[in-house]
Amino acid sequence: MGIRSRVVFLIAGLCMAGAQATPPSAIPDGPEPEAMAALLDRDAAPEARDRAMQQLVASAQAGDGHAAFYLGALYRSGMDHPARRVERDVETARFWLEKCVASQRCPLVALASLAELELAAGHAKPAMQWAQAWVVLDREREKRTRGDRPQDNTHDMPYRHTAYHAFLIDRCYKAMAPARDADSLGRSWFQELARTHGDHLERMLQASLEAPPAGDAEGGEIRPRLQIATEAQRTKVMGNDARIPLGPSLGLFLYRGNPAGGRADGLWMIEALPNPAGARGIEAQARSVRTLPYTPAADGRRAYAYLPMTFSDGVWSLTPQR
């Protein structure tokens, strides 16, 4: 890892401008966060966890892309997932993750989950296809939303997940059989995916741009909006720690805010990339995130947020292809 990684960033065959998609406002956004918290909490009552699992499966079967993604994440890692809810099942994980991609609303990170699943299964082509799709859409989403937040209003700021983008693409290249021109082959694979899944990818990007911020109207009720106390907390750099493996990693957490502000009063990992072991240490970073005080909903329910966290290793970068 001491050598800077040069990874060719491929963008081919997928036009992002003027994407048209079904308006996502009437489409469910996944199960209630309280149910997800019960499902992901190993210390929750077994009956509550069973009910939450039944609700998650029912939502996924009804076409809820977020629910399908959560199921795919659980089955992809199995008992290595902190929730320890199901046995690892690659076929079941692939089924739910692909069902997410085909749904009306699917989080972009599901593409990275599919790439990691196919890499672990030894399938270089779909791994490279899903990895490139995630990098393209994730960077496009961030580019389009820069300026929405004061701290992002700069063209010089590096992309948030660049190191993990490069780490994933590099491992996909290494999984490919030796080829005279791996860049051309990878580009052709991506063009093939764009032909077969272009509408799905366009819809995923559009939904990610139109998704309401945490705390907006959900189920007819206005919930408190969690606000990060300081930007420095979001970008905290973890020091050297023997428990943190080398290499970039990414985690997605369900964060329950404390009404008094400060650190979370509940935090659960939903997805860990490349895998839970490889993402060890990110939880400590997520727990350091602090929020401003807020007033709970009328029924006393707390405010939740979905919190992505990245651990970056500076030796990784993406080199755009000219």
> Residue 151 to residues 49, 61, 157, 187, 317: CA-CA distances in angstroms?
38, 39, 9, 34, 22
- pLDDT tens digits, 43-71: 999 999 999 999 999 999 999 999 999 99
Average pLDDT over residues 19-45: 70
Q: Is a pLDDT exceeding 80 seen at residue 12?
A: no
Q: Which of the listed ranges 15-29, 42-56, 137-151, 224-238 does the model predict with the highest average pLDDT?
A: 42-56
Q: Which of 216, 249, 270 is the last residue of a domain?
A: 216
pLDDT reported for residue 177: 80
- The answer as to whether 22 is a domain residue is no
Range of the domain at 93: 5-17+28-216
What percent of the chain is modeled with pLDDT above 70? 74
Task: Identify whether residues 48 and 131 lie together within a single domain.
Answer: yes
pLDDT reported for residue 135: 95
Task: Identify whether residues 61 and 175 lie together within a single domain.
Answer: yes
- The answer as to whether 240 is a domain residue is yes
Residue 317: DSSP 8-state:
E
Task: Identify whether residues 147 and 39 lie together within a single domain.
Answer: yes
> CA-CA distance, 275 to 60, in Å (whole number)?
23
Q: Is a pLDDT exceeding 80 seen at residue 41?
A: yes
3-state SS assignment for residue 93: helix
> CA-CA distance, 199 to 207, in Å (whole number)?
12
What residues contact 64, with CB distance under 8 A and at least 6 apart? 27, 28, 29, 30, 31, 103, 105
- Are 125 and 193 contacting, i.e. CB atoms less than 8 angstroms apart? no
pLDDT reported for residue 190: 94
Q: Is a pLDDT exceeding 80 seen at residue 27?
A: no
Task: Identify whether residues 280 and 196 lie together within a single domain.
Answer: no
Amino acid symbol at 260: A
Q: Which of 216, 237, 263 is the last residue of a domain?
A: 216
Task: Identify whether residues 310 and 179 lie together within a single domain.
Answer: no
Q: Any bridge partners for residue 263, and if so which? A: 290
Q: What is the pTM of this model?
A: 0.83
pLDDT reported for residue 322: 35
The residue with greater pLDDT, 39 or 28, is 39
Q: Which of 168, 190, 216 is the last residue of a domain?
A: 216
- The answer as to whether 74 is a domain residue is yes
Q: Token pair of 122, please?
A: 């030894």
pLDDT band at 215 (very low <50, low <70, confident <90, very high): very low
**CATH code of the domain containing 273:** 3.30.2420.10
Task: Identify whether residues 277 and 204 lie together within a single domain.
Answer: no
